[in-house]
């Protein structure tokens, strides 16, 4: 069933806005800039990408720290002039953000009572330079920033007490009041979009007092700006006790700066569950100071179905303030299917609140170009990248399925993909959506989800895909040759017609590389002819198709890792069969995704080089491994995960997917033995075999993790103590 766009109280349909993760945060004496780390700083044409999706309003950084890092008297506007003018030319209206989780430039900070006036000076300069900007967020999430900087000590000035948190909060909110006063002296019609994370705390009965405390605290930034913090407010006395002057609080009462629009930044981590039963949780989840308790995501707790989620938080904010709302950040850092499910849930939440009479104006797709290291709140530099509408690991940035979903939402408020037939993990298991709800909107889980078809059911790759799909709740059929022989054209057509998959992953084929010369006809039939038959059938039915090739389509003589555009040059029967498969598939199904990969290893089967090395070394046996051929080993869980990402995104053509790095077989064996703590005295360099470099790299995008990281996870995930095994 298709749904019609729902109108909000003002008579306009729900809009789709966009936003860039643009935090400039200070940690110690170092500033981190997310626009630099995602590469947006160097890509003017990102503005064209945003406009191309159909987004017409964007939260965009005009950040104090980047324009005036030394003083308000020494501003450099060149970068912003170029980008804001491009946005204006393309009809994209900016919401100017002036401080985004920052503490201001180096000459001030959140504890500095000069902070509000200094920020207002800067805001005035922004308004004078860009008088056409009609909406501002002078400070993003002031309460969240105050907590992370003043109470938890994550960000500068790294304080850890309530008084510091409240000082940081008041300084930021005063900065908003003074900034909007300055901006409106230039543009009287300028609007304030005030963002905040309004997540709620839940708890065991023993910790209800703490949940109540945090749930009162979550309103502080909006209550201050709305002039509500006065005698009788639950936190008024606490402000005074923590050194906040009555004169400061009176500014908010006398010059109430109630937001024109309230923006709710909501994440799966926003809602918390506080549990006194510490024994049920790992130590890192313990909150402090004493009394200690576990602080976990509320969606992982057994709570009533109708208590958590963005719809409930939006409704609470509307009921309290009756000010127009937007979801100002909608982002999820999981796999693509879960990202799409989260966007669906956020969109539906906004529409449900509209349906209940709330004035919800827009949903903002956040982190359009992704974000880096937010899994550690930016406190570590691990290069952990989460993609958004675009994946910036590719040059130019590659549009993902989220970009297609955003374009569809911007156009008519609907989007569809087979993976949203299931609920997100946060709504599964404990409480699948009731089917009675599924008639309200088209973007709800289906009773009979569409299925993915995977061939090669007895092989390493097919089994790996089935496991990965199961973990991600992607409905699938795993077929063996007895279910469908891919070399039998009639059988392929019959099975595809019966099962009607939304996509096909061909993980079947001949894999015995060393025997291929003796079984040449069979090798070519299963690898090339079978792949071609599947490709032709998928093309005729309009079904996305993925098949696999190998590094052995290259002879290794180039002296460097191969990229996708390098000419194939196989020197063995197996490589010839894969090169022939690539040619035939391209002819039969030009939109197919062909993945070249190499040297599988993984935790789910024991029939690979890495397992064999560890087993034999742990038993005291000698292992001979070549030091003359360089390869790019590929961790099967990573391969399966990222092939699914590319498939969902609609990627086509040849891709090289292998864990980053190149090693000889001997170097791989040594690295794995050392990581596993196994005595590697029996590891011997072998020579006389094939030489060269068949390692793979990519000119389209390096998206698999480094090999070192994969080896660490392999050893950890196998749950095998190889030293103890050897001793036994």
Q: pLDDT, tens digit, for every residue of 639-680? A: 999 999 999 999 999 999 999 999 999 999 999 999 999 999
CB environment 82-114: b (16+ within 10 A), e (fewer): ebbebbeeeebbbbbbbbbbbbbbeebbbbbee
Question: What is the structure's pLDDT at 464?
Answer: 96
436 has pLDDT over 70: no
User: CB–CB of 503/544 below 8 Å?
Assistant: yes
19 has pLDDT over 50: yes
Question: How far apart are alpha carbons 30 and 614 in whole angstroms?
Answer: 43
Six-digit token pair at 546? 């993925």
Question: What is the structure's pLDDT at 718?
Answer: 84
Contacts of 366 (CB under 8 A, 6+ apart): 18, 19, 21, 59, 265, 328, 329, 330, 331, 388
Preceding omega of 291 cis (within 30 degrees of 0): yes
Contacts of 266 (CB under 8 A, 6+ apart): 197, 198, 199, 310, 313, 314, 327, 329, 330, 346
Question: What is the structure's pLDDT at 2?
Answer: 34
Strand partners, 52: none
**Which has the higher per-residue pLDDT, 37 or 438?**
37
Do strands 360-365 and 325-330 pair parallel, antiparallel, or not at all (unpaired)? parallel
Q: Which residue has the tokens 């109108």?
A: 7
Question: What is the structure's pLDDT at 607?
Answer: 83
Query: What DSSP character marks residue 568?
Result: P
For the chain, percent of residues with pLDDT exceeding 70: 93
Query: DSSP per residue over 81-126, as a string?
Result: HHHHHHHHHTT-EEEEEEEES---STT--TT-TTHHHHHHHHHHHH
- The torsion defined by the Cα of 471, 474, 480 and 484, in degrees rounded to 10, comes to 180
Element (H, E) at 505: strand 503-506
Six-digit token pair at 248? 């400061």
Six-digit token pair at 233? 């407010």
Question: What is the structure's pLDDT at 520?
Answer: 96
Question: How far apart are alpha carbons 242 and 162 in whole angstroms?
Answer: 7
What is the residue extent of each domain of the chain?
15-270+306-416, 452-727
**Which has the higher per-residue pLDDT, 326 or 4?**
326
Question: What is the structure's pLDDT at 494?
Answer: 97
Question: What is the structure's pLDDT at 49?
Answer: 98
pLDDT, tens only, 398-420 = 999 999 999 999 999 999 999 99
Question: What is the structure's pLDDT at 429?
Answer: 60
Question: What is the structure's pLDDT at 724?
Answer: 64
Question: How far apart are alpha carbons 183 and 137 in whole angstroms?
Answer: 11
Nearest-5° Cα angle at 463, 458 to 466: 130
Question: What is the structure's pLDDT at 443?
Answer: 57
Strand partners, 7: 13
Distance linking the first and last C-alpha atoms of the chain: 61
Six-digit token pair at 7? 């109108």
Question: Which candidate, 125, 141, 229, places its Cα nearest to that of 179?
Answer: 125
User: CB–CB of 680/674 below 8 Å?
Assistant: yes
Six-digit token pair at 454? 């995977």
CA distances (Å), origin 150, targets 31, 155, 160, 238? 17, 8, 5, 15
Question: How far apart are alpha carbons 327 and 316 in whole angstroms?
Answer: 13
Question: What is the structure's pLDDT at 682?
Answer: 95
Question: How far apart are alpha carbons 318 and 8 in whole angstroms?
Answer: 13
For 15-270+306-416, which CATH superfamily applies?
Answer: Glycosidases (3.20.20.80)
440 has pLDDT over 50: no
Question: Which candidate, 46, 5, 139, places its Cα nearest to that of 367?
Answer: 46
* Residue 284: Cβ-neighbour burial (10 angstroms; 0-12, 13-18, 19+): exposed
pTM (predicted TM-score): 0.94
Query: Which 3 state secondary structure label does DSSP give 522?
Result: helix
8 has pLDDT over 60: no
726 has pLDDT over 70: no
- Angle of helix 530-541 versus helix 489-499 axis, rounded to 10: 40
Six-digit token pair at 414? 């609907």
149 has pLDDT over 90: yes
Question: What is the structure's pLDDT at 721?
Answer: 67
- The torsion defined by the Cα of 556, 558, 563 and 566, in degrees rounded to 10, comes to -100
Question: What is the structure's pLDDT at 584?
Answer: 98
Contacts of 386 (CB under 8 A, 6+ apart): 331, 333, 367, 370, 371, 372, 374, 375
Average pLDDT of the residues in 84-95: 98
pLDDT, tens only, 215-263 = 999 999 999 999 999 999 999 999 999 999 999 999 999 999 999 999 9
CA distances (Å), origin 108, targets 117, 119, 157? 11, 10, 10
Element (H, E) at 724: helix 722-727
Question: How far apart are alpha carbons 352 and 327 in whole angstroms?
Answer: 13
pLDDT, tens only, 492-536 = 999 999 999 999 999 999 999 999 999 999 999 999 999 999 999
Q: Which residue has the tokens 């279910």?
A: 483
Q: Which residue has the tokens 């022939």?
A: 580
Mean pLDDT rounded to a whole number for the chain: 93
Strand partners, 623: 683
Question: What is the structure's pLDDT at 13?
Answer: 87
Question: How far apart are alpha carbons 328 and 317 in whole angstroms?
Answer: 13
* Residue 289: Cβ-neighbour burial (10 angstroms; 0-12, 13-18, 19+): exposed
Average pLDDT of the residues in 461-490: 96
Query: What DSSP character marks residue 293?
Result: E
* Residue ranges of E strands in 360-422: 360-365, 371-372, 385-386, 390-391, 398-399
432 has pLDDT over 80: no
Contacts of 415 (CB under 8 A, 6+ apart): 340, 343, 344, 404, 405, 406, 408, 409, 443
Question: What is the structure's pLDDT at 9?
Answer: 41
CA 162 to chain centre: 32
626 has pLDDT over 70: yes
- Band of pLDDT at residue 690, cut at 50, 70 and 90: confident
For 452-727, which CATH superfamily applies?
Answer: NAD(P)-binding Rossmann-like Domain (3.40.50.720)
447 has pLDDT over 80: no
- Band of pLDDT at residue 285, cut at 50, 70 and 90: low
Question: What is the structure's pLDDT at 606?
Answer: 83
**Which has the higher per-residue pLDDT, 551 or 608?**
551
Question: What is the structure's pLDDT at 444?
Answer: 61
User: CB–CB of 636/575 below 8 Å?
Assistant: no
By residue count, the chain amounts to 728
- Band of pLDDT at residue 283, cut at 50, 70 and 90: confident
Question: What is the structure's pLDDT at 445?
Answer: 64
Question: What is the structure's pLDDT at 437?
Answer: 35
- Angle of helix 530-541 versus helix 573-588 axis, rounded to 10: 20
Question: How far apart are alpha carbons 266 and 328 in whole angstroms?
Answer: 8
Helix, strand, coil percent content, the chain, rounded in steps of 5: 40, 20, 40
Average pLDDT of the residues in 687-703: 92
pLDDT, tens only, 530-548 = 999 999 999 999 999 999 9
Question: How far apart are alpha carbons 715 and 728 in whole angstroms?
Answer: 19
Strand partners, 261: 193
């Amino acid at each position: 069933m298709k749904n019609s766009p729902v109108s909000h109280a003002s008579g306009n349909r729900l809009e789709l806005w966009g936003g860039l993760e643009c935090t400039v945060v200070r940690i110690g004496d170092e500033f981190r800039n997310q626009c630099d780390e995602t590469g947006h700083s160097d890509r003017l044409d990102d503005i064209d990408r945003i406009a191309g999706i159909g987004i017409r309003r964007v939260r965009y950084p005009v950040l104090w720290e980047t324009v005036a890092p030394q003083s308000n008297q020494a501003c450099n506007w060149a970068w912003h002039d170029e980008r804001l003018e491009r946005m204006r030319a393309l009809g994209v209206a900016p919401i100017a953000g002036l401080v985004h989780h920052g503490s201001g430039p180096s000459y001030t900070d959140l504890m500095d009572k000069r902070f509000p006036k200094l920020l207002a000076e800067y805001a005035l300069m922004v308004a004078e330079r860009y008088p056409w900007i009609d909406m501002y967020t002078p400070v993003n999430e002031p309460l969240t920033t105050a907590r992370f900087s003043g109470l938890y000590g994550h960000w500068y000035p790294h304080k850890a007490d309530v008084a510091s948190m409240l000082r940081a909060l008041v300084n930021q909110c005063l900065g908003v009041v003074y900034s909007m006063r300055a901006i409106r002296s230039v543009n009287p019609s300028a609007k304030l979009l005030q963002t905040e994370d309004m997540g709620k705390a839940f708890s065991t009965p023993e910790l209800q007092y703490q949940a109540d405390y945090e749930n009162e605290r979550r309103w502080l930034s909006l209550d201050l700006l709305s002039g509500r913090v006065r005698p009788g407010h639950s936190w008024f006395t606490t402000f005074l006790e923590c050194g906040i002057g009555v004169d400061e609080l009176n500014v908010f009462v006398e010059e109430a700066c109630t937001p024109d629009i309230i923006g709710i930044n909501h994440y799966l981590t926003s809602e918390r569950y506080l549990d006194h039963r510490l024994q049920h949780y790992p130590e890192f989840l313990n909150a402090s100071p004493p009394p200690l308790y576990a602080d976990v995501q509320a969606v992982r707790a057994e709570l009533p179905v109708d208590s958590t989620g963005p719809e409930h938080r939006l409704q609470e904010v509307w009921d309290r303030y009756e000010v127009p709302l937007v979801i100002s950040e909608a982002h999820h850092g999981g796999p693509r299917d879960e990202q799409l499910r989260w966007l669906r849930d956020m969109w539906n939440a906004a529409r449900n609140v509209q349906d209940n009479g709330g004035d919800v104006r827009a949903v903002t797709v956040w982190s359009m170009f992704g974000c880096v290291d937010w899994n550690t709140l930016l406190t570590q530099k691990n290069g952990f990248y989460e993609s958004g509408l675009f994946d910036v690991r590719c040059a130019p940035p590659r549009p993902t399925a989220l970009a297609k979903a955003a374009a569809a939402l911007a156009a008519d408020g609907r989007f569809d993909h087979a993976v949203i037939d299931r609920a997100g993990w946060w709504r599964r298991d404990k409480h699948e959506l009731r089917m009675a709800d599924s008639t309200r909107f088209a973007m709800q889980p289906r009773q009979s989800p569409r299925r993915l078809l995977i061939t090669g059911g007895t092989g390493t790759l097919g089994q790996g895909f089935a496991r990965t799909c199961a973990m991600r709740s992607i409905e699938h059929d795993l077929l063996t040759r007895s279910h469908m022989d891919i070399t039998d054209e009639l059988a392929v057509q019959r099975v595809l017609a019966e099962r009607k998959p939304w996509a096909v992953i061909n993980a079947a084929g001949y894999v015995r590389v060393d025997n291929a010369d003796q079984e040449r006809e069979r090798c070519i039939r299963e690898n090339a002819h079978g792949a071609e038959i599947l490709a032709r059938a998928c093309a005729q039915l309009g079904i996305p198709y993925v098949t696999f090739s190998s590094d052995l389509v290259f002879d290794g003589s180039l002296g460097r890792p191969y990229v996708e555009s390098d000419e194939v040059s196989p020197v063995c029967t197996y490589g010839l069969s894969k090169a022939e498969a690539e040619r035939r598939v391209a002819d039969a199904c030009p939109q197919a995704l062909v993945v070249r990969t190499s040297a599988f290893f993984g935790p789910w089967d024991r029939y690979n080089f890495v397992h064999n090395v560890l087993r034999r070394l742990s038993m005291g046996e000698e292992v001979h491994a070549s030091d003359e051929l360089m390869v790019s080993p590929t961790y099967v869980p990573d391969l399966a995960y990222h092939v699914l990402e590319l498939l969902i995104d609609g990627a086509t053509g040849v891709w090289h997917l292998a864990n980053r790095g190149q090693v000889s077989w001997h170097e791989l064996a040594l690295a794995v033995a050392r990581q596993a703590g196994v005595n590697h005295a029996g590891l011997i360099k072998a020579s006389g075999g094939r030489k060269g470099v068949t390692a793979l790299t990519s000119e389209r995008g390096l998206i698999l993790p480094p090999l070192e990281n994969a080896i660490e996870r392999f050893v950890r995930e196998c749950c095998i103590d190889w030293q103890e095994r050897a001793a036994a």
